[in-house]
C-alpha cells in the first residue's frame, strides 16, 4: 500500500508561551481533500505552515509522501518538499505573465518539458487562452486559478490552500470554489484547505478537521462532524446547536419537551445527560387552546427558503427550529416543540459526546 500523502505524528509548536499545535496527529490519504477549521487563533495557519516548511515543529515528525520532512535532526526546506501553496491573496508575481508565473516552480525542467507542463496545467484550469496576460488583466477568480495552476505545475504530493476564497465576493466565491475543487478532484490531487466558513468546510472536504487551542477536537467525515460531534465545542462550532438537560432511563431519552428518542443499548442506564438539538431536528406545532405556561415563540428570523423560530420553554431555556418558508408563527404564539421522528441526537456528559452509558463509579 502506498504511504499517506501527509502525516503529522505528535507534532507540537509553541510561540513563546502560546501553544499553536499541541500533540497533533493527522494522516491525509492520497487524493483526499481535507478542510481545517476552528476559531481565530486555534492554529490552522500554523498547521499549514508546518506542512509547508515555513515553521519548524518543536516536537514530533512530519512526513510528505512517506519522506520525513521535519523531525529530530531533519528539516527539509520548503522548496525541496513536494508541497504546493495557494494563498488567499493569490501572491502572483505582478510583473510576470500568466505562463511565466506558472513556470516559476519548474526551473529545473528542460525548456520543452516546462512549456508543455505550463500548457497542460493552464488547460486544466481553463486559462490556456490567457497565457500571455498579466495578473492585473485577470479577474479575481482567474487569478486564483493561475495560483492553483502554479501550485499544481511541479506535481506536488499535497497542495495547501490558505483561505483561498476569502478575498472573493460571495457570488464569485461559490463559482471559483466549485472550479478549484473540480480541478483538484479531476487530477486526484491531495489538498488541505484552511477555511473560516463552516458550510465551505462541510461541503468541500472528504474530511473536516476541527481545531481548538492547537488541538484537533475531531477529524472526521463532514456528516459525522455535523451529526455526531465529538464534543460540546464541535457541536456548537459546526452549525447551530441548543443543549437541554436530559435523562436516560429504561433506554428512553427524555427532556423538557418530552420523549426524544430511544437509546438502544442503554437499557440498564439511569443517567443525567445533555441532549444536543439542531434547529432542523426540532418540530413545532401550534398549541391551540393551551392554558397556562408552555413553550412560546420569542423570535422569528426570515432566511428565504426557511424561517428560524426561537422558542422559550417553560424553564426559560430556548430552542431553535427551522420551518419551511411558508410557516411563520408570530412572536407570542404558544407552541408545542418536539424532536423530528427518526433523529438520534448527540448526548453529552460534561463536554464530551457519549455513545455508550458512562461507567458506574467503582464501589469503594
Ligand atoms: N509568528 C508568531 N509569533 C507569535 N505568535 C504567533 C505567531 N504566529 C501565530 N502565533 C500565535 O499562535 C496561535 C495560532 O495562530 P494561527 O495563525 O496558527 O491561528 P489561526 O487558526 O490560523 O488563526 P486565524 O483564523 O485568525 O488566521 C495564535 O495564538 C497566534 O497569536
Q: pLDDT grade, residue 363 (50/70/90)?
A: low
Torsion of CA 260, 263, 266, 271, to 10 degrees: -20
C-alpha 36 – ligand 1 centre gap (Å): 14
Atom of ligand 1 nearest to the CA of 16: 4
Judge whether 361 lies within some domain.
no
Could you report the predicted ipTM of this complex, rounded to two decimals?
Answer: 0.96
Protein residue with its CA nearest to atom 30 in ligand 1: 41
Between residues 283 and 361, the one the model is more confident about: 283
Identify whether residues 220 and 99 lie together within a single domain: yes
Query: Which residue's C-alpha cell is 464501589?
Result: 363
Judge whether 1 lies within some domain.
no
Ligand 1 pocket check for 20: Cβ under 6 Å: yes
Identify whether residues 273 and 163 lie together within a single domain: no
Ligand 1 pocket check for 166: Cβ under 6 Å: no
Residue 220 has pLDDT above 90, yes or no: yes
Ligand 1 pocket check for 261: Cβ under 6 Å: no
To the nearest 10 degrees (0 to 180), the angle between helices 170-186 and 140-152 is 20
Alpha carbon distance, N-terminus to C-terminus of the chain: 50
C-alpha 214 – ligand 1 centre gap (Å): 9
38 Rama sector, left if φ>0, alpha if ψ -120 to 50, beta otherwise: left
Nearest to 86 by CA among 4, 25, 158: 158
Between residues 2 and 99, the one the model is more confident about: 99
Residue where a domain stops, chosen among 164, 196, 231 = 231
Cell of 168: 472573493
Ligand 1 pocket check for 210: Cβ under 6 Å: no
Strands (E), 87-190: 158-162
Cell of 248: 436516560
Rounded CA Rg of the chain:
25
Judge whether 136 lies within some domain.
yes
User: What is the pTM assigned to this prediction?
Assistant: 0.90
Protein residue with its CA nearest to atom 25 in ligand 1: 40
Between residues 364 and 306, the one the model is more confident about: 306
Identify whether residues 116 and 140 lie together within a single domain: yes
Ligand 1 pocket check for 43: Cβ under 6 Å: yes
Identify whether residues 252 and 226 lie together within a single domain: no
Identify whether residues 120 and 98 lie together within a single domain: yes
Q: Determine the residue of 20, 38, 201, 215 to mutate for testing ligand 1's pocket, defined as the one with the most ligand atoms within 8 A of the Cβ atom.
A: 20
For the chain, give the mean pLDDT.
Answer: 92
The confidence score (pLDDT) of residue 177 equals: 87
Atom of ligand 1 nearest to the CA of 214: 14
Identify whether residues 221 and 248 lie together within a single domain: no
Atom of ligand 1 nearest to the CA of 45: 22
Cell of 137: 488583466
Q: How many domains does the chain have?
A: 2
Ligand 1 pocket check for 41: Cβ under 6 Å: yes
Say which CATH number the domain at 102 has.
3.40.50.300
pLDDT in tens, 133-164: 999 999 888 888 899 899 999 999 999 999 88
Ligand 1 pocket check for 17: Cβ under 6 Å: no
Judge whether 305 lies within some domain.
yes
The confidence score (pLDDT) of residue 125 equals: 86
Judge whether 277 lies within some domain.
yes
pLDDT in tens, 41-52: 999 999 999 999
Residue range(s) defining the domain that contains residue 217: 6-231
Which residues lie across from 318 on neighbouring strands?
312
Residue 189 has pLDDT above 70, yes or no: yes
pLDDT in tens, 50-93: 999 999 999 999 999 999 999 999 999 998 999 999 887 767 89
C-alpha 20 – ligand 1 centre gap (Å): 7
Ligand 1 pocket check for 42: Cβ under 6 Å: yes
Residue 24 has pLDDT above 90, yes or no: yes
Residue where a domain stops, chosen among 196, 231, 266 = 231
Identify whether residues 151 and 177 lie together within a single domain: yes
Residue where a domain stops, chosen among 210, 231, 252 = 231
Between residues 343 and 36, the one the model is more confident about: 36
The confidence score (pLDDT) of residue 219 equals: 97
Amino acid at each position: 500500500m502506498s504511504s499517506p500523502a501527509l502525516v503529522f505524528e505528535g507534532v507540537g509548536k509553541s510561540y513563546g508561551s502560546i501553544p499553536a499545535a499541541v500533540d497533533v496527529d493527522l494522516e491525509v490519504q492520497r487524493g483526499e481533500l481535507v478542510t481545517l477549521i476552528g476559531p481565530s487563533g486555534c492554529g490552522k495557519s500554523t498547521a499549514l505552515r508546518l506542512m509547508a516548511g515555513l515553521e519548524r515543529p518543536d516536537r514530533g515528525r512530519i512526513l510528505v509522501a512517506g519522506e520525513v520532512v521535519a523531525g529530530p535532526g531533519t528539516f527539509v526546506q520548503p522548496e525541496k518538499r513536494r508541497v504546493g501553496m495557494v494563498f488567499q491573496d493569490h501572491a502572483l508575481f505582478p510583473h510576470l505573465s500568466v505562463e511565466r508565473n506558472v513556470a516559476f516552480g519548474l526551473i529545473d525542467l528542460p525548456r520543452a518539458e516546462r512549456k508543455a507542463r505550463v500548457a497542460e496545467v493552464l488547460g486544466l484550469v481553463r486559462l490556456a487562452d490567457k497565457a500571455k496576460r498579466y495578473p492585473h488583466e485577470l479577474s479575481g477568480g482567474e487569478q486564483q486559478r493561475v495560483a492553483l495552476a502554479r501550485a499544481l505545475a511541479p506535481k506536488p504530493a499535497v497542495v495547501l490552500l490558505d483561505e483561498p476564497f476569502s478575498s472573493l465576493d460571495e457570488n464569485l466565491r461559490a463559482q471559483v470554489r466549485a472550479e478549484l475543487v473540480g480541478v483538484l478532484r479531476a487530477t486526484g490531487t491531495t489538498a488541505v484547505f484552511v477555511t473560516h466558513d463552516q458550510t465551505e468546510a462541510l461541503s468541500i472536504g472528504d474530511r473536516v478537521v476541527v481545531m481548538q487551542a492547537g488541538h484537533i477536537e475531531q477529524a472526521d467525515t463532514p456528516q459525522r462532524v455535523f451529526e455526531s460531534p465529538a464534543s460540546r465545542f464541535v457541536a456548537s462550532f459546526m452549525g447551530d446547536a441548543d443543549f437541554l438537560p436530559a435523562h436516560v432511563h429504561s433506554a428512553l431519552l427524555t427532556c423538557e419537551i418530552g420523549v426524544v428518542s430511544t437509546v438502544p443499548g442503554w437499557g440498564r442506564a439511569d443517567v443525567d445527560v445533555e441532549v444536543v438539538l439542531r434547529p432542523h431536528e426540532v418540530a413545532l406545532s401550534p398549541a391551540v387552546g393551551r392554558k397556562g405556561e408552555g413553550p412560546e415563540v420569542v423570535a422569528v428570523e426570515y432566511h428565504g427558503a426557511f424561517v428560524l423560530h426561537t422558542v422559550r420553554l417553560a424553564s426559560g431555556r430556548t430552542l431553535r427550529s427551522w420551518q419551511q418558508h411558508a410557516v411563520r408563527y408570530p412572536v407570542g404564539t404558544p407552541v408545542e416543540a418536539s424532536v423530528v421522528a427518526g433523529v438520534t441526537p448527540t448526548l453529552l456528559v460534561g463536554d464530551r459526546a457519549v455513545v455508550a452509558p458512562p461507567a458506574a463509579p467503582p464501589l469503594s
